[in-house]
Structure 1
């Protein structure tokens, strides 16, 4: 296999991420702000992602966290492995009712077969709304299920 033509470079992956966010992230309004090996940052509007009482839905926070942790894991796994989520947890510290929340994912563990990221989600005042940890298994690309 000729890596120069079939495997995108890390820079190409990072450049393509905003275009490959996926349908769920599009529906939730998640927008990437920064993508590096050291941290992944994105915002998400509270509006449209609330539970019946008008508070940011905890599941929305988990979607944001999983998106960021999975992206960081994918960057680490490149070019011969792909991440699959095996564990995620979230502690919800306070509510958010308007504006944007920002998620920042930083690596806790970057191994050959697994990764873990901490994701801190804050409101526009910089107050911590949620802390999440995601662990991904890094599997060989030939074991990644294909769609279609």
Structure 2
């Protein structure tokens, strides 16, 4: 459901909207998508630092992609959510397999949406915690 309470299939909506060229290049795949919870995976391979660890920026791309998309689903069809703040704390390094980001809302308001994204490795250990704040505004020209 979007904030205006109209039924929306989140995965279908996300597929139509697209996740963006960067997220696609990084191999992100949406698994679950609703206003209350969004889940995506990303391979470690191809997204590493020279020493073989998943790049810290890759965690942030996963988190920001999930949080921004979730905020836009919440905003509804005539509004646009744009990121105004993102921060991340990395607590473990993934070196193989896939990581999974689970995005949940902290605050869903009319003008701001705040989400937390917990990123875990294949063993379910938290590797990074990302928080993103999105400003919600009317679409340009409307």
Give TM-score, length-normalised by structure 2. Answer: 0.90
Q: 2:100 aligns with which of 82, 99, 102?
A: 102
Separation in 1 of the partners of 2:29 and 2:39? 9
Q: 2:8 aligns with which of 8, 11, 23?
A: 11
- Rg larger in structure: 1
Q: 2:126 aligns with which of 125, 128, 145?
A: 128
Give TM-score, length-normalised by structure 1. Answer: 0.86
Deviation at 1:14, TM superposition (A): 3.9
Q: Is the 8 A contact 1:10 1:75 kept in 2?
A: no
Deviation readout 1:7-31 (Å, 9 max, x if unpaired): xx76266414235122111100000
| Runs of 4+ residues over 6 Å off in structure 1 | none
2:93 is paired with a residue whose SS is coil
Separation in 2 of the partners of 1:10 and 1:81? 17
Residues 124/143 of structure 1: CA separation in 2 closer, same or farther (3 Å cut): farther
Unaligned runs of 5+ in 2: 1-5
Deviation readout 1:75-124 (Å, 9 max, x if unpaired): 11002211100000000001000000000000000011010000000000
Separation in 1 of the partners of 2:132 and 2:85? 6
Equivalenced residue count is 136
Q: 1:26 aligns with which of 16, 24, 27?
A: 24
